[in-house]
Structure 1
Amino acid sequence: MTPVVSLRGVRVAHQGRTVVHAVDLDIQRGSWFGLVGANGSGKTSLLKALAGRLPFSGGACLIGGEDMIADRAGRAEQFGFAPPADRLPDSLRASEMLAFVGGHLDRVRRNLGPLRQALGVDPLLDQWIGNCSAGMKQRLAIAAAFAGGQKLVILDEPFNWLDPVAIFDLRLALRQMVDDGLTLITALHDLHALVVACDDGLILANGKKRIDLSHGMLRDAAVAPSLFEKEMIDILRAGAAE
């Protein structure tokens, strides 16, 4: 099966310093891919580059079989991408922000699908973003990633700032959308979320790939989560020490 996203030897630089080093990965269409690493491991930079918010400084980035390594605008069109929740425009109502991304509020509602209820979007629509709590802003940032209706979506730490009920509801809604054909890429800190939610994944440390996490590995991890957690923590510690 041909991956919908394939990275080969990609590099990302920030302020003249390489922060992602020659990473390879493949993501299958209609799957949930989890990217795990400590703070400063390069996962946010990698996802921003994939979504066209940063340039790649080398390698190949194939999306649907087309190399888009030099086409930042093209990559940005391909992916729904959640903006940082703390950078949403305070001076807009939630409905205005989502309509700006999705074109029309009715279209946004359709594109959100099960996320509309899971995120509790409707009660937020008339709220000024500046008056929203951190959790509310996180819900809106996630909704913004889906407002445009792209079939490829990137979320960076989507469960931050959410309470346990919201995390559970969001995870189920995202799983439903993936099962219906969405390709979802998430950066995660929580190894439990990786095991219970993702189909495949990758561990990053110091901007380098440490291990590919196959579907089989994650299913085995669900049987012995404590052992898996210790093994992954050991890998992260070793990578951070280099």
Structure 2
Amino acid sequence: MNLAIELTSATVERSGWRVVQDVDLTVSSGSWFGLIGANGSGKTSLLRALAGRLPFASGSCRVTGEELVDDRAARALRFGFSPPADKLPDALRGRDVLELVGGSIDDVRSRLGKLDKALGLPPLLNSWIGDCSAGMRQRIAVAAAFAGGHPLVVLDEPFNWLDPVAIFDLREALRDKVDSGLTLITALHDLGTLASACDTGLMLADGKVALVLDEDMLRAAAKDPQAFERQTINRLRSGSTAHF
């Protein structure tokens, strides 16, 4: 198995508190890894640390075989990362945001491929961020993660604020990117996407690993999504680390 990411005993602290504790996970190259958990479970902190936006307090973080736990700058260069949609500067246009990340807008759109249409980007390129709705900002923020052409991409709840058609189109385009070799890590609240689109995943509870979701488990989930949803919701309610 060719590993793109390997975390061992990874710990993240914020304001002196351990918000992620001793997390072990592996992500294979060219796969879609889904991270789920209740609000406050540590998902965002873990993804921000992985992508170099936060430091790791301890543990190991190997990216394509290289130990980078103490090198935030190197991690930031390895990953495409979606900025918070609500933090995009009002005084910029959509194209300005994408060009800041990836240079020429023509090059950016070429890298996006099917995501360009799935995200409905053409009419957003000349729109001022301050005039954009939450959903429009989200489309631009997701596109920014791919603007630089990184082979590793981290998205934190990319389907927030999108309508059902946009969610469907984005999910299909992301799966196509993964099937073409992209390694994708996403925090999700959408259990349907986790069951139908992700290859492997992890559930966090109180900053700790509550459940490892392997390929067999997610294949079974895709066959019986209602049972998977019921079991997962029960686990999320309890925050339990017991096995299904």
Which TM class, normalised by the smaller chain length?
A: over 0.9
Counterpart of 2:104? Answer: 104
Give matches, 1:143-162, under 5 Å: 143-162=143-162
- Aligned-pair Cα RMSD in Å: 1.3
Amino acid in structure 1 at the alignment position of 2:219: R
Counterpart of 1:72? Answer: 72
Measure the CA separation in 1 of the matches of 2:191 and 2:225. Answer: 9
Give matches, 1:206-225, under 5 Å: 206-225=206-225
Counterpart of 1:89? Answer: 89
1:22 matched to 2:56: no
1:161-182 CA-to-partner distances (Å, cap 9, x unmatched) read 0000000000000000000000
Contact 1:206/1:240, CA 8 A, preserved across alignment: no
Contact 1:205/1:236, CA 8 A, preserved across alignment: yes
Q: How many residues align?
A: 242
In the superposition, the TM-score normalised over structure 1's length comes to 0.98
Shift of 1:20: 0.2
Counterpart of 1:205? Answer: 205
1:185 matched to 2:185: yes
Measure the CA separation in 1 of the matches of 2:22 and 2:213. Answer: 18
Shift of 1:46: 0.0
1:230 matched to 2:233: no
Measure the CA separation in 1 of the matches of 2:107 and 2:164. Answer: 29
Measure the CA separation in 2 of the matches of 1:231 and 1:96. Answer: 44
Amino acid in structure 1 at the alignment position of 2:66: E
Shift of 1:29: 0.4
1:32 matched to 2:29: no
> Helix, strand or coil for the counterpart of 1:4?
strand
Measure the CA separation in 2 of the matches of 1:4 and 1:58. Answer: 20
1:130-166 CA-to-partner distances (Å, cap 9, x unmatched) read 1001100000000000001100000000000000000
Amino acid in structure 2 at the alignment position of 1:149: G
- State the 4+ residue runs in structure 1 displaced beyond 4 angstroms: none
> Helix, strand or coil for the counterpart of 2:70?
coil
Shift of 1:196: 1.1
Amino acid in structure 2 at the alignment position of 1:205: A
Counterpart of 2:117? Answer: 117
Shift of 1:240: 6.8
Q: CA 1:134–1:240 in structure 2 vs 1: closer, same or farther (change >3 Å)?
A: farther
Measure the CA separation in 1 of the matches of 2:105 and 2:2. Answer: 35
In the superposition, the TM-score normalised over structure 2's length comes to 0.97
Shift of 1:233: 1.9
Measure the CA separation in 1 of the matches of 2:97 and 2:239. Answer: 40
Contact 1:36/1:187, CA 8 A, preserved across alignment: yes
> Helix, strand or coil for the counterpart of 2:3?
coil
What are the ranges of 5 or more consecutive residues in structure 1 without an aligned counterpart? Answer: none
> Helix, strand or coil for the counterpart of 2:20?
strand
Measure the CA separation in 2 of the matches of 1:238 and 1:107. Answer: 47
Measure the CA separation in 2 of the matches of 1:208 and 1:235. Answer: 13
Measure the CA separation in 2 of the matches of 1:128 and 1:234. Answer: 43
Percent identity over the alignment? 61
Contact 1:135/1:162, CA 8 A, preserved across alignment: yes
Measure the CA separation in 2 of the matches of 1:136 and 1:167. Answer: 13
